[in-house]
Chains A and B, each alone.
Chain A
């Protein structure tokens, strides 16, 4: 096999943010494979410099529209840890609902609008309108709308939440609204199963590629971890001190990317739904386990394309989990007059870690006189860039005999499987302010 060709995908479509794929093959030999991130750097550190502690969650929310609830929550946890704020049980439960809602919204958007067109052999969902798949598309839209309505109810808005504030909530839903939400969640279970079946019917088009790597995420003894937990790796187990996150997430700069890369025990690691599944699948709720069995997914899966399937599984888990939380809230009688807890200190250091749709997210602040002095954020997609590169290096030789068009599509599909959030990853929040 001696062919020459170049693949040059500038700005991969159906992903959040800007990424390029560059592949040069000469006489059948791979000369260059590169995953590039040319996204404009946004310098969030300068935005936070000297800002009031109450503004940090609003500013960091703007790192990413899709993960804005997750950024707000990581920011609040870091701020509250720094300024010694203890949140109520009600706030904790409502924040669990908020994180479920965002995970559902982001996952169904990725599975339905961004990844599925490849499995159906179309360029976007638009050509599916009016075909046999219209019904499936309408069901996906229905689930997306439900997720957004849930975010609107809990957070006041789905993109850039309003009600999530330091110490609690600026407004909370009524019992009646929560009961109504529960009814809609229960009703959506059947729809979700239908969508999972449709994805299963085209699952043969998911490439059969595996590469052993390390998976990192939060884990907790209490639940399938999203809001709270300890940093955990499939290679090195549970790390008890979250404040020591830097010893695990080693970030570095590469010239082909305005986003940083990261590594731990190996050259690269992966975070996100597949990492969480690989670490915590035993704690999935029953129906989510059923969906995992339906797809034959078992931990540890080393196929990055199964990240999309893990998202389907987590979507179901988030629904089951939210129903359970609403029951708890209603049973405890929701207090809609509860005010946010006050800060007990004017300065301090705090780390906030949550799982967001694309993986583990860290915010780390130093606050003095109620103002931000230093900030550091570790973004999920940054942690995946090196793993995408390593996957490409191993994947391309396996598909080199396919047509150029197929190779290009396969590489795009690989990038999409990670559901990268590139705006997030070029946030740059890693400096000390003097």
Chain B
């Protein structure tokens, strides 16, 4: 029996699902190892019976919270797809301000009281509402990593995700270090798995795959000092994708 897979999306740009559509001919390989039973962006067919739910986007409203709880109760395995689902990503920058403040700014005096559509709270990642079994990192996700995770899950195995920094992949690509070119790069503290795609294209890493659990802080500080930069600045730049309330 092929596992039944359903895709769902919440507050996001849907770019991660687009990355899946961008697998081109390999989508045909994907549907040979799993049964895709729901994928609203590209198909009308839908079933509520699924084994694996793949979720894109962050949770912003009570109506979305209800929906994700229902999905969780139906799925044996729940996978967070992309930075918005995994950690809130770019959607969390607004958590620097209260939901009330942000709403007042945006809608002004428009009458949105008692309207469920507009009832937003502060951005939450999926695991702040329901348990998540596996994570596919990145903004957007990396197509090859997605394939590896789905293949592992369809075989009943645990997918392997790198625990080393982007710098390792960047060195393999033989790039000149971006600090050497006068750019501020978050590669040293960011989880690898993207094949250092941004530095390889001449742009600094923004940390979209999340901060490593245990970055090599001492040696990073040593490198930063060489360029007259500080670890505090590195941390403050990382809020673009990794905003967290100060404990």
Per-position binary interface string of chain A over residues 4-27, scored 1 when its CB falls under 8 Å from any chain B CB and 0 otherwise: 000000010111110000000000
Interface residues of A in 78-127 (CB under 8 A from B): 109, 113-114, 117, 123-126
Contact with A16, one of B14, B25, B117 (Cβ below 8 angstroms): B14
Is A64 in contact with B93, judged by CB distance below 8 angstroms?
no
CB distance from A406 to the nearest CB of B (A): 15
Q: Which residues of B contact A255 (CB under 8 A)?
A: 111-112, 115
Is A41 in contact with B106, judged by CB distance below 8 angstroms?
yes
Interface residues of B in 83-124 (CB under 8 A from A): 89-91, 93-94, 96-97, 102-103, 105-108, 110-112, 115, 117-118, 120
Given contacts A126-B31, A424-B13, 11 further A-B contacts (CB under 8 A): A15-B41, A16-B14, A40-B60, A45-B105, A46-B94, A46-B105, A63-B13, A64-B13, A65-B14, A125-B42, A145-B24
Is B11 in contact with A42, judged by CB distance below 8 angstroms?
yes
CB distance from A402 to the nearest CB of B (A): 18
A193 at interface (Cβ–Cβ under 8 A)?
Answer: no
Is B15 in contact with A163, judged by CB distance below 8 angstroms?
no
CB distance from A37 to the nearest CB of B (A): 8
Q: Complex formed: what's the CA distance from A113 to B21 in Å?
A: 9
A315 at interface (Cβ–Cβ under 8 A)?
Answer: no
A253 at interface (Cβ–Cβ under 8 A)?
Answer: yes
Contact with A258, one of B41, B43, B118 (Cβ below 8 angstroms): B118
Per-position binary interface string of chain B over residues 179-213, scored 1 when its CB falls under 8 Å from any chain A CB and 0 otherwise: 00000000000000000011011110010000000
Q: Complex formed: what's the CA distance from A431 to B104 in Å?
A: 10
Of all chain B residues, the one with the shortest Cβ separation from A434 is B105
Q: A43-B106, A141-B24, A171-B202 are in contact. Are A65 and B60 (CB under 8 A)?
A: no
Of all chain A residues, the one with the shortest Cβ separation from B58 is A40
Which 3 pairs show the lowest CB-CB distances between chains A and B?
A65-B15, A170-B202, A124-B43
Q: Which residues of A contact B76 (CB under 8 A)?
A: none
Is A157 in contact with B97, judged by CB distance below 8 angstroms?
no
Q: Which residues of B contact A165 (CB under 8 A)?
A: 203
Task: Give the contact-size bracket for chain B.
Answer: 35 or more
Contact with B140, one of A41, A65, A126 (Cβ below 8 angstroms): A65
Q: A46-B102, A156-B197, A165-B203 are in contact. Are A66 and B15 (CB under 8 A)?
A: yes
Is A159 in contact with B18, judged by CB distance below 8 angstroms?
yes
Is B15 in contact with A124, judged by CB distance below 8 angstroms?
no
B22 at interface (Cβ–Cβ under 8 A)?
Answer: yes
Q: Which residues of A contact B10 (CB under 8 A)?
A: 40
Is B106 in contact with A62, judged by CB distance below 8 angstroms?
no
Q: Which residues of B contact A47 (CB under 8 A)?
A: 90-91, 93-94
Is A113 in contact with B42, judged by CB distance below 8 angstroms?
yes
Is B203 in contact with A14, judged by CB distance below 8 angstroms?
no
Contact with A68, one of B13, B91, B93 (Cβ below 8 angstroms): B13
A53 at interface (Cβ–Cβ under 8 A)?
Answer: no
Q: Which residues of B contact A156 (CB under 8 A)?
A: 197-198, 200-203
Is B202 in contact with A13, judged by CB distance below 8 angstroms?
no
Q: Which residues of A contact B12 (CB under 8 A)?
A: 65, 423
Is A129 in contact with B28, judged by CB distance below 8 angstroms?
yes
Is B240 in contact with A59, judged by CB distance below 8 angstroms?
yes
A430 at interface (Cβ–Cβ under 8 A)?
Answer: yes
Is B43 in contact with A62, judged by CB distance below 8 angstroms?
no
CB distance from B225 to the nearest CB of A (A): 23
B16 at interface (Cβ–Cβ under 8 A)?
Answer: yes
Q: A43-B102, A65-B15 are in contact. Are A253 and B107 (CB under 8 A)?
A: yes
B74 at interface (Cβ–Cβ under 8 A)?
Answer: no
Q: A162-B197, A163-B202 are in contact. Are A43 and B14 (CB under 8 A)?
A: no
Of all chain B residues, the one with the shortest Cβ separation from A433 is B105
Q: A40-B11, A40-B64, A126-B31 are in contact. Are A158 and B120 (CB under 8 A)?
A: no
A232 at interface (Cβ–Cβ under 8 A)?
Answer: no
Is B197 in contact with A123, judged by CB distance below 8 angstroms?
no
Q: Complex formed: what's the CA distance from A138 to B17 in Å?
A: 20
B46 at interface (Cβ–Cβ under 8 A)?
Answer: yes
Interface residues of B in 148-178 (CB under 8 A from A): none
B36 at interface (Cβ–Cβ under 8 A)?
Answer: yes
Of all chain B residues, the one with the shortest Cβ separation from A255 is B115
Q: Which residues of A contact B112 (CB under 8 A)?
A: 253, 255
Q: Which residues of A contact B203 (CB under 8 A)?
A: 156, 162-163, 165, 170
CB distance from A336 to the nearest CB of B (A): 11
Q: A43-B120, A255-B111 are in contact. Are A124 and B42 (CB under 8 A)?
A: yes
Q: Complex formed: what's the CA distance from A64 to B111 in Å?
A: 27
Contact with B18, one of A43, A62, A66, A424 (Cβ below 8 angstroms): A66
CB distance from A339 to the nearest CB of B (A): 10
B139 at interface (Cβ–Cβ under 8 A)?
Answer: yes
Q: A41-B60, A255-B111 are in contact. Are A64 and B14 (CB under 8 A)?
A: yes
Of all chain A residues, the one with the shortest Cβ separation from B12 is A423
Is A158 in contact with B43, judged by CB distance below 8 angstroms?
no
Q: A13-B46, A62-B139, A124-B43 are in contact. Are A160 and B15 (CB under 8 A)?
A: yes
Is A114 in contact with B42, judged by CB distance below 8 angstroms?
yes
Q: A13-B40, A14-B44, A160-B140 are in contact. Are A431 and B106 (CB under 8 A)?
A: yes
A sample of 9 cross-chain residue pairs with beta-carbon separation below 8 angstroms, ordered by A number, consists of A13-B43, A42-B11, A42-B60, A45-B102, A46-B102, A113-B42, A114-B42, A156-B201, A162-B201
Q: Which residues of A contact B96 (CB under 8 A)?
A: 46
Q: A14-B43, A42-B11, A170-B201 are in contact. Are A58 and B107 (CB under 8 A)?
A: no
A269 at interface (Cβ–Cβ under 8 A)?
Answer: no
Is B107 in contact with A124, judged by CB distance below 8 angstroms?
no
Q: Which residues of A contact B40 (CB under 8 A)?
A: 11, 13-14
Q: Complex formed: what's the CA distance from A11 to B64 in Å?
A: 13
Per-position binary interface string of chain B over residues 47-65, scored 1 when its CB falls under 8 Å from any chain A CB and 0 otherwise: 0000000000100110110
CB distance from A89 to the nearest CB of B (A): 20
Of all chain A residues, the one with the shortest Cβ separation from B116 is A38
